[in-house]
A and B are shown apart, each in its own frame.
Chain A
Amino acid sequence: GAVVSQHPSWVICKSGTSVKIECRSLDFQATTMFWYRQFPKQSLMLMATSNEGSKATYEQGVEKDKFLINHASLTLSTLTVTSAHPEDSSFYICSAKPLAGGLGEQFFGPGTRLTVL
């Protein structure tokens, strides 16, 4: 149980294009999903907290107009990287907090590797 999927697992795009990454909780409902960014050999940096049906809360320094987050249902959140540039290349990981049960626990997706040429 408690499986989170991400799609795509990797994507290569040209500079200036937009890329959408999906995060789904497959066997549980999640009111809250989180989006992280991870640079090589570094820790996870929280980008934003996404709550179903409301606007995402972005961490300081994260451009909300560049990283658009939509949490349309209790099982789906999307991250759109708009007008991507090479510096946006990174490993993006989402996590989901179950609606019921758990104490602060988050379940993580497998990650999406974005490469911007």
Chain B
Amino acid sequence: AQSVTQLGSHVSVSEGALVLLRCNYSSSVPPYLFWYVQYPNQGLQLLLKYTSAATLVKGINGFEAEFKKSETSFHLTKPSAHMSDAAEYFCAVSDGGAQKLVFGQGTRLTINP
């Protein structure tokens, strides 16, 4: 079975500061990993995905994530936070075969002016 743990249900950073959202996964097979963002009362938008190619993945809006197999992690980062980054972020894992996504609990990102 696969699972995802997002450390920190709420992260608050200042505008212009580094954003780091943590995600650890558990999978018995090589995983496909995803980060999604959700704005209030909206669906999910894909930020980036890892599918066994490059371990450093660049996504939209300046976000990137690094797959570290030894640490079973897929942390999301952005060098400089913008006010528009305030949202809920979900990390998800899939085995690619069953195609089902297993989501983490989510991390609410707040940006302080």
User: Which chain A residues have a beta carbon within 8 Å of chain B's beta carbons?
Assistant: 4, 6, 32, 34, 41-44, 46, 49, 91, 93, 95, 97, 103-111, 113
Contacts and interface: CB of A to CB of B under 8 A. Distances in A.
B100 A107 contact: no
A32 B101 CA distance: 13
Contact of B100 (A49, A91, A93, A111): A49
B43 interface: yes
Chain A contact residues: helix, strand, loop or mixed? strand
A109 B36 CA distance: 13
Contacts of B32: 103-104
Q: How large is the interface on B (under 10, 10 to 19, 20 to 34, 35 or more residues)?
A: 20 to 34
Given A42-B106, A44-B90, A108-B36, A103 B96 contact: yes
Interface string B82-113: 00000000100011100111111110100000
B26 to A, nearest CB: 16
B70 interface: no
Which residue of A46, A103, A104 has the most chain B CB atoms within 10 A of its CB atom? Answer: A104
Interface in B6-52: 32, 34, 36, 41-46, 49, 51
Given A108-B44, A110-B42, A46 B51 contact: no
A111 B42 CA distance: 6
A97 B102 CA distance: 15
